[in-house]
């Protein structure tokens, strides 16, 4: 099992990745981060906490009894993937990728694989 720092470093090796973090969806705070100094990962984690909360609230309102595998946000030049941890409720991995150099399918696959090795 990999620790948080190692998992985040491995996530940065995903093609196109430039920032990644493990965040707490209850507080919006990061438990660890890695990547580009020019990208405010702490602000992104806090903002994406609201995305996770809104989706969970919506699922509850419409009676969907399932778990979120991941949430994809597609921007003009970037992909942002939010992956709530199946093993630790309230925590999620967040990765930002450059669209021009990312393979979205592979990024989702690799993030899921990394989640399995993460020890919090």
Q: How far apart are CA 88 and CA 75, in angstroms?
A: 28
pLDDT reported for residue 37: 78
Domain count, the chain: 1
pLDDT, averaged across the chain: 94
DSSP assignment letter at 24: E
State the residue range of the domain holding 113. Answer: 4-117
The CATH number of whichever domain residue 48 belongs to comes to 3.30.450.30
What would the pLDDT profile of 21-71 be if each residue is shown by its tens digit?
A: 999 999 999 999 999 878 999 999 999 999 999 999 999 999 999 999 999
| Non-local CB neighbours of 80 within 8 Å, separated by 6+ positions | 44, 48, 72, 73, 74, 94, 95, 96, 97
pTM, full prediction: 0.94
Most distant CA atoms of the chain, gap in Å: 41
């Amino acid at each position: 099992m990999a620790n948080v720092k190692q998992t985040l470093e491995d996530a940065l090796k995903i093609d196109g990745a430039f920032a990644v973090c493990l965040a707490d969806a209850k507080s919006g705070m990061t438990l660890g981060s890695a990547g580009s100094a020019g990208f405010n990962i702490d602000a992104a984690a806090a903002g994406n906490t609201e995305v996770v909360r809104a989706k969970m609230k919506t699922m509850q309102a419409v009676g969907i009894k399932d778990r979120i595998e991941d949430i994809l946000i597609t921007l003009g030049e970037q992909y942002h993937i939010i992956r709530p941890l199946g093993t630790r409720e309230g925590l999620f991995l967040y990765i930002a990728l450059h669209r021009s150099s990312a393979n979205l399918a592979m990024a989702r696959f690799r993030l899921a694989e990394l989640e399995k090795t993460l020890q919090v």
